Chain A
Amino acid sequence: MMSQVASPSISALLDARLAGHSLPQGLYTRPDVFEADLDVLFRKHWIYVGLECDVPEPGDASVVELGTSSIILLRDDDGQIRVVHNVCRHRGSRLLPPGPSVVSKLVCPYHQWTYELNGELVHAPHMGIDFDKSCRNLKPVTFRSIGGLIYVCLSDNPPDDIDRLVEVMERRLAPYDIRNTKIAFQTEVIEQGNWKLTLENNRECYHCSSNHPELCVSFIDLDFGYDPQSLSEEDRADAERHQALYAERTERWEAEGYPSAAVEQLVDCATNFRTQRLIIAGNGESQTPDATAASAKLLGSMTRKDLGDTHLWGHNCWNHFMGDHAVTSLVIPLSADRTLVRTKWLVHKDAVEGVDYDLEKLTNVWIATTDQDSELVARSHAGITDPAYEPGCYSAFTEGHLDKFSTWYIERMRAHGY
Chain B
Amino acid sequence: MAIDDHRPVDATRLKENWDPELDDRLLCVDIHQETHDVKTFTFVSPAGKHFDFHAGQYFLFDLDLGDAVESRCYSISSSPHRKNAISITVKRVAGGRISNWLHDTLTPNATVQAKGPLGAFLRPSGAGRKFLFLSGGSGITPVMSIARDLADLAEPADVVFVHAARSPRDIIFRDELALLANRVKGFRLFLLPEDIVGERSWPGLSGRISKSYVSLAVPDVAERIVMCCGPAPFMKAARDIVAELGVPAANYLQESFDEPPLEDAPIKDDGGPETQSFRVDFAKQARTIEVPAGQTVLSHAKRQGIRLPSSCANGLCGTCKSKLVSGTVDMHHNGGIRQREIDAGWFLPCCSKPLSDLVVDR
Contacts and interface: CB of A to CB of B under 8 A. Distances in A.
A135 B310 CA distance: 25
Contacts of B336: 104-105
Interface string B314-346: 001111000000000000000111101100000
Contact of A123 (B316, B338, B341): B316
A123 B311 CA distance: 9
A100 interface: no
Interface in B96-126: none
Among B337, B338, B341, residue most surrounded by chain A Cβ atoms (within 10 Å) = B338
B319 A107 contact: yes
Contact of A114 (B312, B337, B340): B312
A112 interface: yes
Nearest to A126: B311
Q: Majority SS of interface residues in chain B?
A: loop
Interface of A: 57-59, 77, 102, 104-105, 107, 112, 114, 116, 122-123, 125
Interface of B: 311-312, 316-319, 335-338, 340-341
A58 B317 CA distance: 16
A104 B315 CA distance: 10
Nearest to A115: B317
Nearest to A109: B319
A116 B341 CA distance: 17
Given A102-B341, A104-B338, A105-B335, A123 B312 contact: yes
Nearest to B336: A104
Given A102-B341, A123-B311, A123-B312, 16 more contacts: A58-B338, A77-B335, A102-B340, A104-B335, A104-B336, A104-B337, A104-B341, A105-B336, A107-B311, A107-B317, A112-B311, A112-B312, A112-B317, A114-B311, A114-B312, A114-B316
B317 A57 contact: no
Nearest to B314: A123
A289 B226 CA distance: 48
Contacts of A102: 338, 340-341
Among B317, B335, B336, B341, residue most surrounded by chain A Cβ atoms (within 10 Å) = B317
Contacts of B317: 105, 107, 112, 114, 123
Contacts of B318: 104-105, 107
A221 B105 CA distance: 73
A125 B338 contact: no
A125 B338 CA distance: 22
A104 B335 CA distance: 6
A77 B338 CA distance: 10
A273 B337 CA distance: 41
A77 B334 CA distance: 13
A114 B312 CA distance: 9
Contacts of A125: 311-312
A123 B337 CA distance: 15
B308 to A, nearest CB: 13
A112 B337 contact: no
Nearest to B15: A350
Contacts of B335: 77, 104-105, 116
Nearest 6 Cβ contacts at the A-B interface: A112-B311, A114-B317, A59-B338, A104-B318, A123-B312, A107-B317
Among B312, B337, B341, residue most surrounded by chain A Cβ atoms (within 10 Å) = B312
A114 B340 CA distance: 20
Contacts of A112: 311-312, 317, 319
Contacts of B340: 57, 59, 102
A302 to B, nearest CB: 20
A116 B312 CA distance: 14
Nearest to A77: B335
Contacts of B312: 112, 114, 123, 125
Nearest to B311: A112
Contacts of B341: 102, 104
Nearest to B21: A58
A274 B316 CA distance: 46
A88 B319 CA distance: 16
A102 B321 CA distance: 13
A59 B339 CA distance: 10
A38 to B, nearest CB: 34
Given A123-B311, A125-B311, A105 B338 contact: no
A78 to B, nearest CB: 13
Contacts of A58: 338
Contacts of A59: 338, 340
B337 to A, nearest CB: 5
